[in-house]
Structure 1
Amino acid sequence: MELLKNQDLMQREWTPMPYDQWTNDLRSICGSFNPKAIEHNGVVTGAARRVDVCGMEFAHVSNDLDRVHRDWDDIRKDANEHLFLIMQLEGSCGVEHVGQQAVLDVGDCILVDSTRPTTFYFGGQFSNHLSLHLPRQIMYSASDVDFDIARKLEAFDPMAMMLRALVAKIMSTAQSDATSSNLRHLMFSATRQAFVSSGDTISALNDSTTRRLQLVDVLIDRHLTESDLCAKWLATRIGVSIRTLQEDFQGLGMTCTTVIRDKRLRFVREKIEQTKDQKGAKTIAEVAYSAGFNDISYFNRSFKELFDCVPTDLLRPVSAPGH
């Protein structure tokens, strides 16, 4: 099934819906974003809905707004970190991300990082796209492949065609299907390969505070589960004093140690949620140890503080409506 012919994603007529409802729907699915309309008449033509298939989460977003923006304050509000694989289904969309700009036409794909400010431009014209949410830590820490963020794949690029075909297959496969786990792993791998980097991203970064923090963020994700990962190791790796690194993070209202801890907690949560129904899956303690935690009591306290639940809550079956 070709993704661009999926009738569940394309409608002959899109019904206007209340602006506030559309905004709330978008934030419940994608995190904190700020939409702006050219003429705020209280309605948006389109919808923002979550699609869960094959154990993967998609956001199906359509609108005729002027733009949708996400800044550093929005990023701090969100507990989850994802890479968004965006596929344009109808219309066009401008994307400004990590200092790069691109225009997505029908069939084009782009990879966007939820931990970086982003602006989507629509100019009041109708746009419809599908966004696959890929857990950020899993994408980075489970790979030795360097891949690019904010690089557009044009519709007729073989890699874009491959990604659309794979997403179409995933969207027609139930999570209970025996092949669903393999399809998820294939999606992770295929996305990395589709956006594989052609150069040394790390050596290309300069020494400004913003660029230093971008470099540190990449290093944390690449070495997240290694026991040596700490503020001192990072400062040495990028060639600055630990005081300079600490001041960089203070400017964001956080510490390097907290960032590493929270990234490890999110990584553990994603791992538990992805493997909890698999036979022979690791215990919570084993996943925590593998993520770099050495003290399970500290891990449990930190998990509760960040997610307002204990790790074992993730293993409980979801209650059916009315129960």
Structure 2
Amino acid sequence: MHEAVLKEERKLRTIYSTEDVDDRQRIAYWTDAINRTHCESVNEPLAALGFRALMSTTRVGDLSLSEIESDALTARRGSEEVLHSPSDDFVVMALSSGRACLEQGGRQVVQKANQMVIYDTARPFAYVFPERYKSTSARIPRKAMLSRVPMAERLTARVVDCSSPLAGLAMSLVRQASSLEPEEGRGWGPRVGASITDILGAALEASLAPGLTPGGRHQELLRRVKADLRLRLDDPDLDLESIASAHNVSSRTINRLFAADGTTAIRWLWQERLEFAYRQLSEGCARSVTDAALASGFSDFSHFSRSFAKRFGVCPGSLLRKVA
């Protein structure tokens, strides 16, 4: 990377600024910074000289959070960049000022201030910022996003209004987490990162997924039931009757909904609990196997361990992170 790359560097935080970089080297410098923090792309400024940009990045668990203030530019990631510099993350970006146009997967959307979008770094995209802008973004590992929002690949290049309560909460948390100063040894980063991913996923799914879900009333009811169950995974007493009662339908209706989806309500709930326990352990949110089991609604720890090993091929204890 070019000389004078960093204006400031602290634990888990890096700040990139073009302020002290020679005018003729600023674009190359900024492209290097974006390649390091987001994904490899070609950056073309609107003005050839006088380009100004500032970026602060930090890691919170598995998330990479960035705040950017930049002059107008276009960022393009084409097939060549995807081929020669693979990336497998999703990026959720919100604008606090300025406007942008994102194109990916055959869709093009105009993004305004107080709106967020998601794009997939594994596929080509073009992101045009026609004026100076400020943004906040979260780069999320693919596995972490898809485990929460299975249809995330279909949600790219679609706008979410951050004035909605859930989306507003999600981006507020990202902005606040971006300004945190993690201290070595405290060990809260993985838990905070996983929680942010949970809320971002919920916001995207609540805002965008209903419009993409076919099947009308029954599919919408199934979606609501699944969303409710995900919020109640820690309840060991959750059963078919209480699920049906919570949604003012019969147990038979719940059975029919899940049968059309190729499973049963209890089998689906069981798999979701195991997946949640896996994330709790692998992302450092649980300090012990017992904590992960209880948070996932399991009260029989021996049964939990056997089921976990059968499902994932490893014992739950092997996934415990050693937090510094």
TM-score with structure 2 setting the length: 0.54
Q: Identify the residue that residue 131 of structure 1 maps to in structure 2.
A: 137
Work out the CA distance in 2 between the residues paired with 1:177 and 1:202.
45
Work out the CA distance in 2 between the residues paired with 1:173 and 1:81.
27
Judged with a 3 Å threshold, the aligned counterparts in structure 2 of structure 1 residues 178 and 32 are, in CA distance, closer, same or farther, namely: closer
Q: 2:204 is aligned with what amino acid?
A: F
Question: Shift of the alpha carbon at 1:272?
Answer: 10
Q: Identify the residue that residue 192 of structure 2 maps to in structure 1.
A: 183
The answer to whether residue 56 in structure 2 is matched with residue 44 in structure 1 is no
Judged with a 3 Å threshold, the aligned counterparts in structure 2 of structure 1 residues 76 and 49 are, in CA distance, closer, same or farther, namely: farther
Matches within 5 A, 1:246-285: 274-275=283-284
Please say if residues 110 and 150 of structure 1, whose CA atoms lie closer than 8 Å, have aligned partners that are also in contact. yes
Q: 1:80 is aligned with what amino acid?
A: S
Work out the CA distance in 2 between the residues paired with 1:116 and 1:202.
25
Work out the CA distance in 1 between the residues paired with 2:164 and 2:285.
36
Work out the CA distance in 1 between the residues paired with 2:162 and 2:311.
39
Q: Identify the residue that residue 229 of structure 2 maps to in structure 1.
A: none
Q: Identify the residue that residue 148 of structure 2 maps to in structure 1.
A: 143
Work out the CA distance in 1 between the residues paired with 2:313 and 2:111.
39
Please say if residues 92 and 122 of structure 1, whose CA atoms lie closer than 8 Å, have aligned partners that are also in contact. yes
Q: Identify the residue that residue 75 of structure 1 maps to in structure 2.
A: 82
Question: Shift of the alpha carbon at 1:118?
Answer: 1.3
Q: Identify the residue that residue 210 of structure 2 maps to in structure 1.
A: 198
The 3-state SS of whatever aligns with 1:188 is helix
The answer to whether residue 167 in structure 2 is matched with residue 167 in structure 1 is no
Q: 2:138 is aligned with what amino acid?
A: L
| Unmatched segments (≥5 aa) in structure 2 | 1-12, 216-278, 291-307, 315-320
Question: Shift of the alpha carbon at 1:15?
Answer: 3.9
Judged with a 3 Å threshold, the aligned counterparts in structure 2 of structure 1 residues 279 and 31 are, in CA distance, closer, same or farther, namely: same
TM-score with structure 1 setting the length: 0.54
Q: Identify the residue that residue 64 of structure 1 maps to in structure 2.
A: 71
Please say if residues 95 and 121 of structure 1, whose CA atoms lie closer than 8 Å, have aligned partners that are also in contact. yes
Q: Identify the residue that residue 92 of structure 1 maps to in structure 2.
A: 99
Question: Shift of the alpha carbon at 1:116?
Answer: 1.8
RMSD: 4.0
Q: Identify the residue that residue 248 of structure 2 maps to in structure 1.
A: none
Work out the CA distance in 2 between the residues paired with 1:70 and 1:173.
31
Judged with a 3 Å threshold, the aligned counterparts in structure 2 of structure 1 residues 271 and 59 are, in CA distance, closer, same or farther, namely: farther
